[in-house]
Structure 1
Amino acid sequence: MNASEVIESTTYASPSPDGHYIAGLTPNHLYVYYTSSLTIACSFPLDHLNTPTTRSVEAPTLHWTPCSLSIILQTSSYVSLHSLANTSSRVKIANGSASLGRIASVDVFGEDVVVVWEFGRVGIFEVGRGRVTEIGELKTGIGSLRSAWGIRRVKGKAEVLALLCRTSATDILSLLLPSSTTPLTTITLPTIDAQYLAWSPSGKWISILDTSLSAPNSAVHIYTADGNFYRSYPPQTSIPAEETYTLGPLRQAWGPSNLALANADGSITLLSTTTFSPVCVLDPWTIAEDDITAVYREQVSGKGDRSWAYLGNGPIDPNSFTRPSANTN
């Protein structure tokens, strides 16, 4: 196997979505290389006052646009957008006094850039006008902010930005189209405490996962791409549900033909992506007795003779070991 030349970078090198380029960051420049030859395709000088280095507390991140024609450099204090087609142009979003906190995440949305701050505030930077317009505030306290918003990107379909917000103890789903800072639609969700928002790979569905404490009520709610309610699982009925002490699903993940729900008992429920009814339930793994390894402890006598004491089948709690005597090791 032949080894390529070393690409100098203070952060992980980032390949473009189309595989034609590799971006690398140095203390003074952002370099873009051709993957075929590793020669420099273009370079962008960095501001010395805002240059991210390996000694910096903040970790710079590189994001490629879906078309692989632009690259975003993100730090907690500023964001810069660089175009491969026009290397002399650069768009920079400064965080100013950081009154909204550090910049937590960015993404390209149409011709603009979505900026999310660490306390949940969301803004759209309109590249053509050079200004940021705040469009709402994400729901916080549910783990990662990234689970509260998402952009639909499907070939042949318009991009749609979905935001999971919370106002006056009510969960809200907002949908926006590119080149717009006003929501296309706003939906009040029937959730108790929504935790995750996710687009299906086809872009047809949005799934909202409720808290695991919502059981026996519906755990996941499905909406169409334009915000119309479609179905819930488990289905809502007019018959009062029996009291239960079990937890609902903890995580959700879309696949090509199923929506997977990770349950609290370790099992996984696969839902059909048409009827959103269970296709099958995968039970948690169990370890057969024959697959458990026997555990022994070596003992060495004062004469140097070795023996092994059987401790049982693993795993063994290390706190259960007795303190070795003077003639053991």
Structure 2
Amino acid sequence: MDASIGGGAPLSLLISDDGVFAAHIAAKDLIVYSDTTSDHKEVQTARLKENNVKSLKFCPTRPSNNNQSKRHVLSANDSRISVWQLEPLQLVAEIENVEPNALNIEFGGDENEVLVFHAWNTKLAIHSIEDGRSSVIKTPKSAHPLGFGFRPQTREFAILLKPETSDILTIHQPTSYELLNRTVLPTIDAQGLKWSPDGKWIAVWDVASSGTKVLIFTADGQLFRTYDGPSGVDDAFDLGVKHIEWGPAAGSNSVSEFLAVGKVNGNIDLLRTRTFSSSTTLSHAFPSDQIAPTVWRERSTSPLGDAEYAETTSSSALNMSPELAGPPRGVAIMAFSPDGTILATVDTMRSNAVWIWALDGSPRLATILVHEQPVRQLLWHPSTPQLLINAITNALPTVRWWSPQSHPVISRVPTQKNESGKYELKWLSVPNEDSAFWFGSSDEYVVGYLSADEQSVQFEVLNSVTNQGYGSHTSSLNR
């Protein structure tokens, strides 16, 4: 997660991917918040050399980096990148004379590497803040995170290149970035790559206009399989791939069992990774030939905008109004539960509906949750089957929660109203706070959990962070 702006305006609040830290820039101060759920919450401040910071990013949490003292955050402007240790907050490295108009700046394989994608995608520079060395990879196809990725655990680096007319996939050694393999791709315009969470496979998908084409590579860059759609389907009706999503590395063998291929026509081809052939096609059309699943529909309970889920007839799902304006048709969101047994999806034709599929045994539609406004996020809890649903909310800040064992609920969140109705959610990955999460917008985030009694469900606030800060203890560093 990152915060980026231009023109020297205040950067919005930024939450680390595990929810442990929050940060923002105020004038020439970097302000970092930690211990956000405890009474010993802390605010640290460091002085920046410039006041035109345009990017602020936390280093992602990785299994090999669970020592909080090693966590880093970077700040960047058009000429300088500063890397800060979080606990205690202190400057550990600077990268100077950065070319202006960089397309993307972020951490690399660990907290000691910084990636800089130069303007016009001329090159990718990888800087080591441990030894000061730099590596260069020329002509990256895209600075977007879908254009490159690190192998889980061992950190080999895969990237799509576009030196001339052909797409190229290269695999590089961790740390040294020496070339391991180079493959010219049989694609028209590769749209992205994704490592499987178990680190065994790389999937690359082609532009939708070429029809269904997903290339499966081994971890060392050898082409293993090309998936071009389910057998027996007329290619004339193949509208191609929108995006893909790997199932988690779950089970006793920690293997990614599924690859979900989201199509432009709204279908999802569910591939078993044993063969990478289509085992099932999931359709965002009400399955008239199956037993109707439970359908929950959001309904207003007060003039102020409070709402709840009410069970409704299956026919109401058929009457959901599709979006009249928005992105082209296709599967917008696919999210696997942490154990890989449930898949939650959203289709752009009915972006207000969340379809939840049970994958244990024969895949089937388990339930549909219908909302008044389009869905922005689906977030599974990192370890338990709890799903947060974030829909645009013009009336009141509210959060929606679903679990296979419980009645779905909608709860108001006591935070500042955002006039756009657009909020962000993030689970908090902290021991003893298993069901706590962040909710907020650019001006204020609150962290808390849902508490239920016989009458209602309440959001219990543990803490809040605003651009004005919080906390009783502040340590200050001058640079």
State TM-score, norm by structure 2: 0.49
SS in 2 for 1:186: strand
Say which one has the larger Rg. 1
SS in 1 for 2:183: strand
Distance 1:161 1:127, change over 3 A: same
Q: CA-to-partner distance for each residue in 1:202-241, whole Å, 9 max, x for gaps?
A: 11110000122223xx60010111112211113899xxx9
1:234 pairs, out of 204, 228, 249, with 228
1:276 and 1:202 mapped to 2: Cα distance? 15
SS in 1 for 2:94: strand
Distance 1:290 1:50, change over 3 A: closer
SS in 2 for 1:170: coil
Q: CA-to-partner distance for each residue in 1:262-290, whole Å, 9 max, x for gaps?
A: 22221111111221111211112359588
Match of 2:113 in 1: 112
Residues 8-19 of structure 1: matches in 2 within 5 Å? 10-15=11-16, 17=18
2:31 and 2:103 mapped to 1: Cα distance? 23
Match of 1:130 in 2: 132
* Contact kept in structure 2, 1:76 and 1:104, CA below 8 Å: no
* Contact kept in structure 2, 1:135 and 1:182, CA below 8 Å: no
Residues 48-63 of structure 1: matches in 2 within 5 Å? 49-52=50-53, 58=54, 60-63=55-58
Matched, 1:190 2:178: no
RCO higher in structure (CA 8 A, sep ≥6) = 2
1:293 and 1:23 mapped to 2: Cα distance? 40
RMSD of aligned Cα (Å): 3.2
Return the letter of the residue paired with 1:147.
L
* Contact kept in structure 2, 1:175 and 1:185, CA below 8 Å: yes
Range with bigger deviation, 62-71 or 157-166: 62-71
1:64 pairs, out of 56, 59, 68, with 59
2:318 and 2:213 mapped to 1: Cα distance? 36
* Contact kept in structure 2, 1:139 and 1:164, CA below 8 Å: yes
Listed as ranges, the gaps of 5+ residues in structure 1 are 1-8, 53-57, 295-329
Match of 1:94 in 2: 96
Shift of 1:174: 1.1
Match of 1:282 in 2: 282
1:242 and 1:274 mapped to 2: Cα distance? 25
Residues 1-329 of structure 1: matches in 2 within 5 Å? 10-15=11-16, 17=18, 20-32=20-32, 33-35=34-36, 36-37=38-39, 39-40=41-42, 42-47=44-49, 49-52=50-53, 58=54, 60-66=55-61, 67=65, 68=68, 69-77=70-78, 78-84=80-86, 87-94=89-96, 96-98=98-100, 101-110=101-110, 111-120=112-121, 121-140=123-142, 145-153=144-152, 157-215=153-211, 219-234=213-228, 244=236, 246-256=238-248, 257-286=257-286, 288=315, 292=319
* Contact kept in structure 2, 1:149 and 1:197, CA below 8 Å: yes
Match of 1:55 in 2: none
Listed as ranges, the gaps of 5+ residues in structure 2 are 1-9, 249-256, 287-313, 322-479
SS in 2 for 1:213: helix
